[in-house]
């Protein structure tokens, strides 16, 4: 090896040794999410905040604020999508979602160990509030939102069961009795046609 390749190698190794710890500390992990109206399931524009914890809450009744904000994003109005960028040394984060005319939402445990892992829940559903001057959520809106959520769960469970009945039955045995009761009720939910399972290949 000539002198120049040797010098380049030495310089590169010196840079790598010095730069790697700093790069590791500053590495950002991305998490993409979608925010929708819980009633209509249409995408909405909203603020998405990330915090390391719920420590030192500040007085903000319409949108809770906590100490050491990690990231703030505004979801796109046409698609409801947004992306958090969180430093890799933070294992979990608290997500807060706020928008005028909607009940704010807090999700406490969000994983930050794998790059591009999706934000949960997927999508993030926010309940629209009553018209100006009235507090809370209209009961008819709440009922429709609950029905939609139950229908989605019922469809997925019926698909899982149809894909491999034996495996599905075995998996249920590992669940607590209360969970099995809920799943049984969702499987029997009327008016919901689950996706057809593809079977085992």
Q: What residue segments make up the domains of the chain, in order of their start?
A: 27-126, 139-187
pLDDT digits (tens, 9 = 90+) for 12-63: 345 445 544 544 455 999 999 999 999 999 999 999 999 999 988 876 778 9
Q: Which secondary-structure segment (H or E) carries 37?
A: strand 28-37
Strand 92-98 and strand 81-87: the pairing is: unpaired
Question: 157, 183 in Cβ contact below 8 A?
Answer: yes
Number of residues written out for the chain: 201
pLDDT digits (tens, 9 = 90+) for 62-97: 899 999 999 999 999 999 999 999 999 999 999 999
Q: What is the pLDDT of residue 131?
A: 75
The third-level CATH classification (topology) of the domain covering 27-126 is Immunoglobulin-like (2.60.40)
Q: How far apart are CA 33 and CA 31, in angstroms?
A: 7
The three-class DSSP label of residue 186 is helix
Number of Cβ within 10 Å of residue 158's Cβ equals 19
Which of 6-10, 29-33, 112-116, 171-175 shows the lowest mean pLDDT across its residues? 6-10
In sequence order, the β-bridge partners of residue 71 are 50
DSSP class of residue 77 equals: T
- How large is the angle between the packed helices 177-187 and 139-163, nearest 10 degrees? 100
Q: What is the pLDDT of residue 135?
A: 74
Tell if the pTM clears 0.85, that is, is over it.
no
Q: How far apart are CA 54 and CA 64, in angstroms?
A: 9
Is the pLDDT at 199 greater than 70? The verdict is no
């Amino acid at each position: 090896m000539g002198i120049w390749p040797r010098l380049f190698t030495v310089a590169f190794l010196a840079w790598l040794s010095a730069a790697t710890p700093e790069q590791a500390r500053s590495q950002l992990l991305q998490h993409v999410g979608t925010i929708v109206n819980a009633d209509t399931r249409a995408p909405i524009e909203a603020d998405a905040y990330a915090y390391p914890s719920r420590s030192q809450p500040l007085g903000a009744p319409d949108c809770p604020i906590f100490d050491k904000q990690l990231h703030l994003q505004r979801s796109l109005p046409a698609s409801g999508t947004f992306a958090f960028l969180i430093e890799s040394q933070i294992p979990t984060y608290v997500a807060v979602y706020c928008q005028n005319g909607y009940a704010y939402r807090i999700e406490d445990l969000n994983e930050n160990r794998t790059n591009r892992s999706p934000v949960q829940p997927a999508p993030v559903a926010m309940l629209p509030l009553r018209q100006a001057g009235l507090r809370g959520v209209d009961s008819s809106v709440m009922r429709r939102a609950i029905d939609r959520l139950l229908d989605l769960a019922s469809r997925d469970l019926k698909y899982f069961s149809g894909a491999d009945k034996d495996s599905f039955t075995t998996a249920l045995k590992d669940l607590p009795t209360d969970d099995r009761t809920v799943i049984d009720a969702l499987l029997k939910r009327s008016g919901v046609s689950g996706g057809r399972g593809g079977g085992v290949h």
